[in-house]
Structure 1
Amino acid sequence: MGHTLFGALGLFSLNILLYCGHAQGVPQSVLTVSPSWTSPGDSVTLTCRWRFFWYKAVPDMSRYSYYTYELLAGGTTGTEQDSYILHGQTHTAGYQCRAGRGDPVSYNQYSYVKFVWSGGVNPAASLTVSPHRLQHFSTESLSLICEGNSAEWRVKKADEDGYVSSCSDWGEMTGSTCNIDIRARSGVYWCESATQSSNAANITIHSVRHPVLTVSPSWTSPGDSVTLTCSVGPPSAGWRFFWYKAVPDMSRYSYYTYELLAGGTTGTEQDSYILHGQTHTAGYVCGVGRGDPVFYTLYSDVKFVWSGGVNPAASLTVSPHRLQHFSTESLSLICEGNSAEWRVMKADEDGDVLPCSYWGEMNRSTCNTNTRASSGVYWCESETQFSNAANITIHSEFIFI
């Protein structure tokens, strides 16, 4: 896999400068002064001596995400300088430092591991990302595959704050492959064996939100055209849009199945779709996809286009026959048409859709409302049809003037 795609930092035989700052705590710094007795006008030298020790981090495969520390070449006596130059860096590697002083040397704690990443190919350890790209979405499957001269691997990730975690924190390790789940986030990913680190991949994982469908107009007269518009969060480029009709699923309470609209198997590049000659109430859904093969996000919520026009196959009758009602009076919603099974639905002003059982009682093809009923658009559904819709206002009490 070339470094053009997976160049996390793109380091090829470069010189790397390491810097070490020692933490406060043990051992305490020791200050010397010279001379300790002076005459007026003398100069005094203050000396605080530390020696710095430089290590390569070696994966400890027996201890989850730990590392052991190997002194870099010639590093047994440390350096007086707080920086160290690595010449000819070729592969991903981790480094640590610590400071010490005295004879025998008393050390402070090790620093955290810091990584130098490379996208360069390492025959002894390689990372393959599948699908083969750096931009991914949280709802699609993503595999990180380790290959090389080892029988045991682990996959690591460093986030933007430098925090390093292992595959088990955001996926599942199976053999030499890490299959990530929805907990995965953007970061630099790489493989480790007991002796090697692979090329690194700087992967961006986008959280995918539900697409949002809008319909215009939401109330139609027979023959009107209706525009469906589907929006998705960033990145917005590169999506294909898929358009569906909602079909009532009578076996699952208030659910719907989705049927692609005519000619919709390949989707559209445009985020809008025009329905010509709308005649009856209907529900619609959109979805978005990208890639080859196409990866789909979640579906949008169902949005309805309502019609008051008569549909011989499905009709709603409101009894008493008016659109203004009061919560204290009885109200029946009667379904008729070419079906033996019906349900009555209501959409409130926020677009939430609920069946009769939430605000009434369904008796065969009639819904008798109770005091929980509220204003909204009401209609009947069978397994194949939607009835005319009624925009009913239900007042909570009588108003005396």
Structure 2
Amino acid sequence: MKMMSSSHSFVAPDLCDSNLPRSTLTVTPDSPVFTGERVSLKCVIESNRDWRQRNGLTYDQRSYWTYYQTHVWRYEWNKDSVKLQSSDRYTVNTDTLTIRAVTTSDEGQYTCRGQRDERPNSSQSSSVSLSVKGVSPSVSLVVRPSRSQHFSSDSLSLSCEDQTNSSGWTVRRYTDRNTENCSKLTGSTCRLVSLNTSDSGVYWCQSESGEKSHRLNIIVHDGDVILESSVDPVIEGHTLTLHCLHRSTNSSILRADFYKDGSLVQNQTTGEMIITNVSKSDEGFYYCKTERGQSPHSWISVREKKENHSDLDQHLDGDVVLESSVDPVIEGHTLTLHCLHRSTNSSILRADFYKDGSLVQNQTTGEMIITTVSKSDEGFYYCKTERGQSPHSWISVREKKENHADLDQHLVSGPHIILGFLLAACPYLLATVVLLYKCYRARVPSTEDQSQYAVTEEET
């Protein structure tokens, strides 16, 4: 078919599949992903200019084809040739499909298709395969401070911590559609001294062979208010604690409103929100709002609780777990760790214990005891035996409060018991001393009188 304009002539191409605008489907983060992660698929359709150039079309402002630049594409998403709709798990927002917490059932072939009312009226992408793994590799991406939102100009450290050896792992990130190594990388640790909003993005660890850890979403905010929440998923039945922090103090704001998925869930109370028994329905986007400003949104993921002992730590399916307290340890108290085996659920006779990747106790019993805990004992611990190795567990150490209530409640070591006994016995000891002194004074005059009497009698 030929069409003529007053100044140019051109031939409209036959709109077969090869001549249709091209669609490119991208997945973030890269496949494979791990269960519980948030996955986004984006459909990018070739621009009109690129499409015309590829098909050898020429035109001027009065040409036939310029009219169709203004028509908006409608997007259709398919998984294994089945059309996807928005649901509790999927969010379809024009050119982006979001899977909130991916599972192995989400594995498959995904395609996107663009449609509009005028020619060229369709665009079909090639299929993209999504692979989902149930268990993350042994390496962990550790964030300090351990939260997903951070103030600009603050400092942040991200480390690849492997259960055996962290060498060969690199911190990678995805920001503004670019995948790159962390710019401030030293070994397997990325240190960002003065954060900028451009540092916001998805971070993970990657080995030289291409193996990847779980991903963490980091948000850098230049406002005055952020939401403090755990970077890791919350386990069903556990407690979720959120704090609304202000830049000037980095501590909880006295009064704040908390929102979930845009709806108010806690109104003008303290700067803290606690959900004591978390369920899957608590999963969603949270933020807080105060008179000083509003925090960014953070996605809180809830992971299903596994009914076995290995869920005590990082819920992996190995044969060895590290038994430790879920609560912080108080400075000066005793910390006891046990290396447990699945078959017996009791301490293994011989085990090595590691802290932050370094050996701290070598081939002794399956128990490790730190009698007087200090802040320097805080860190990631795991144990290793001939039968396997446990996941990492973060041991938090809380500062001891110097008040009487804290003494009564927490201090139970020998010196404190002795001191308490002496303080309680002081009144009785004092009374005894006074009585002895009075008895002594009463006996002195009596002795002098007897001496005088004896001398007088002798003279006589």
TM-score if structure 1 supplies the norm length?
A: 0.30
Where is the strand percentage greater, Structure 1 or Structure 2? 1
Q: Name which structure has the greater RCO, CA cutoff 8 Å, separation 6+.
A: 1
